[in-house]
Chains A and B, each alone.
Chain A
Amino acid sequence: MSTLASLVRDIDAVVIGASAGGVEVMSVLLAKLPALCRLSFMVVMHIPRARPSLLPKVFSARCLLPIREAEDKEPVQPGTVYFAPPDYHLLIDRGPALALSDDDPVHFSRPSIDVLFESAADIYRERLMGIVLTGANRDGATGLATIARAGGRTIVQDPSSAAASYLPKAALQEGPVDAVLSLQELQELFSSLGGRVGRLVE
């Protein structure tokens, strides 16, 4: 298993996917991000469709970085956390810029983790980290494998520490994973995402 330092070296962006139990984990992890972090974060969480998007508001209070709901065509900024809006897929397009679509749900999910991860892998290639957290649906497993194939770093929450182990297990079965981390280790990882090792602060 790689050390934390080598995992976070030379990346520009982090994509994160979670479903069941994800809100609790995300609020713990986002609180750990250092204020000077220069990475861009894109997050897909499965939430009930009709509900207005409360996630950015919920997490803003606990996170030192700005948290925004993704807007179509918005250029990706460093040091910012973007959430997929409810009922739209979030993709990464050239630029890099954010893109939305209302194409059919994938694995019954819109936004879909696979859609975000696959499009992000296409743009960021090896400068991307993908993280799959707790989840009760296999959406995200294929996308994480795509990130691995494109040369990016892949991290899965240890299924035994996840509220719902289905997604982490599916991700572990699907493809090579650089690290399987407990919730404690994930917190250490997020604390270390200072961006000092990244290209963006040259």
Chain B
Amino acid sequence: MVARAVTSSTFDIELPLLLEALYRKYHYDFRGYALASLKRRLGQALRRFECRTLSQLQDRVLHEPALFPVLLDFLTVQVSDMFRDPGYFRALREQVIPLLRTYPSLKVWVAGCSTGEEVYSLAILLQEEGVLERSIIYATDINASALERAQAGIYDAARMGGFTENHRKSGARTSLSDYYTAAYGKAVFDKALKTNVVFADHSLSTDSAFSEVQLISCRNVLIYFDRELQDRVLGLFRDSLCRKGFLGLGAKESLRFSAHAFAFSEFAAEERIFRKEAS
């Protein structure tokens, strides 16, 4: 069913109509999302909602508002791992934090934090480097239910083995198990980690800069945006970063094809950490 939907050109007619409908009714803007992934996810949503066409799905989501949050999960939720790509966190620890340490207070923005794995990873890293106390982490996403899960900080205990290994490879100074309590197959992260975390609803598609920060971590989010939206977001990041602030992207994301490539220089190229040019 997915395949049939994806290869029919009627689908291509219905798709922008659905996105326009979602925008007008719920003010969520997916019109700048990269089409290939979006189509795939909508194909899965069709199956889940047992709709034959996007027009049927549009009908239902317009008239049954309770359906929208479920559809939103299909369109936005990203499951990440704690300390995914340990080399990235090691570079933050060894190269970025020593430079940020000189600020009296630190502001970090995790843009598109989804269910929060990266937020806790960064909080633990900042704690280990002795700067969490004077840091604020803004954790933003457009999906309210993902934000709630992020705020809860509860993950499957079965995932802790992999997370622990990643953490260790990031140059850990402590053990990951110091930060969570395992019970009933769940790992509950220490509340102290989120004392300085602000979880907030923020849309990279439609909202603007809200604070000046020294580090933005936005990993595997831009790959879901088309080039135009990607440029908007990178402009937003440029405006939000302090002079010579840092931007961390996903392992396979680059600024190469962006209009804002000139606004940043490579800092740790292999780990996709960029630095805002002084200008």
Query: What is the interface of chain A, defined by CB distance below 8 A to chain B?
Result: 71-74, 85, 87-88, 91-94, 99-104, 115, 118-119, 121-123, 142-143, 145-146, 149-150
Q: How many A-B residue pairs have CB under 8 A?
A: 78
Q: B residues within 8 A CB of A146?
A: 3, 6-7
Least distance between A9 CB and chain B CB atoms (Å)? 21
CA distance A102 to B79 in the complex (A): 9
Query: What is the interface of chain B, defined by CB distance below 8 A to chain A?
Result: 2-4, 6-7, 34-37, 39-41, 78-80, 220, 222-224, 227, 230, 250-254, 256-257
14 residue pairs bridging A and B, Cβ less than 8 Å apart: A71-B254, A71-B256, A72-B222, A73-B227, A73-B256, A73-B257, A100-B252, A102-B220, A102-B223, A102-B250, A103-B40, A149-B4, A149-B7, A150-B7
Least distance between B178 CB and chain A CB atoms (Å)? 25
| A93: contacting residue among B34, B41, B220, B253, CB under 8 A | B34
| B252: contacting residue among A72, A94, A150, CB under 8 A | A72
| A91: contacting residue among B4, B36, B257, CB under 8 A | B36
Once the chains bind, are B36 and A145 in contact (CB under 8 Å)? no
Q: B residues within 8 A CB of A102?
A: 78, 80, 220, 223, 250
Once the chains bind, are B41 and A103 in contact (CB under 8 Å)? yes
Least distance between B16 CB and chain A CB atoms (Å)? 12
Known interface pairs A73-B257, A74-B257. Does A122 touch B7 (Cβ–Cβ under 8 Å)?
yes
Q: B residues within 8 A CB of A72?
A: 222-223, 252-254, 257
CA distance A160 to B2 in the complex (A): 31
| B223: contacting residue among A99, A118, A121, A149, CB under 8 A | A99
Once the chains bind, are A93 and B36 in contact (CB under 8 Å)? yes
CA distance A72 to B78 in the complex (A): 17
| Across the A-B interface, the 5 shortest Cβ-Cβ residue pairs | A91-B36, A93-B36, A146-B3, A73-B257, A101-B37
Additional A-B contact list (9), CB under 8 Å, known A88-B223, A93-B34, A99-B223: A71-B256, A71-B257, A88-B252, A91-B36, A99-B37, A103-B78, A118-B2, A121-B6, A150-B7
Q: A residues within 8 A CB of B35?
A: 93-94
Q: A residues within 8 A CB of B224?
A: 101
Once the chains bind, are B223 and A101 in contact (CB under 8 Å)? yes
CA distance A88 to B222 in the complex (A): 14
Which label, helix, strand, loop or mixed, suits the secondary structure of the B interface?
Answer: helix
Least distance between A162 CB and chain B CB atoms (Å)? 24
Known interface pairs A72-B254, A118-B40. Does A104 touch B79 (Cβ–Cβ under 8 Å)?
yes
Least distance between A94 CB and chain B CB atoms (Å)? 6
Once the chains bind, are B220 and A118 in contact (CB under 8 Å)? no
Least distance between B181 CB and chain A CB atoms (Å)? 28
CA distance A115 to B43 in the complex (A): 12
Among B3, B35, B220, max chain A CB count under 10 A is at B3
Least distance between B256 CB and chain A CB atoms (Å)? 7
| A71: contacting residue among B3, B34, B220, B252, CB under 8 A | B252
Q: A residues within 8 A CB of B257?
A: 71-74
Q: Which residue of A lies closest to B256 (CB)?
A: A71
Q: Which residue of A lies closest to B253 (CB)?
A: A72
Among A71, A72, A85, A146, max chain B CB count under 10 A is at A72
CA distance A149 to B7 in the complex (A): 8
Q: B residues within 8 A CB of A103?
A: 37, 40-41, 78
Q: B residues within 8 A CB of A100?
A: 223, 252
CA distance A85 to B224 in the complex (A): 16
Q: B residues within 8 A CB of A123?
A: 36
CA distance A99 to B38 in the complex (A): 11
Q: B residues within 8 A CB of A71?
A: 252, 254, 256-257
Once the chains bind, are B7 and A119 in contact (CB under 8 Å)? no
| A122: contacting residue among B6, B78, B227, CB under 8 A | B6
Once the chains bind, are A91 and B37 in contact (CB under 8 Å)? yes
Among A123, A145, A146, max chain B CB count under 10 A is at A146
Q: B residues within 8 A CB of A122?
A: 6-7, 36, 39
CA distance A123 to B253 in the complex (A): 22
Least distance between B76 CB and chain A CB atoms (Å)? 11
Among B34, B224, B252, max chain A CB count under 10 A is at B252
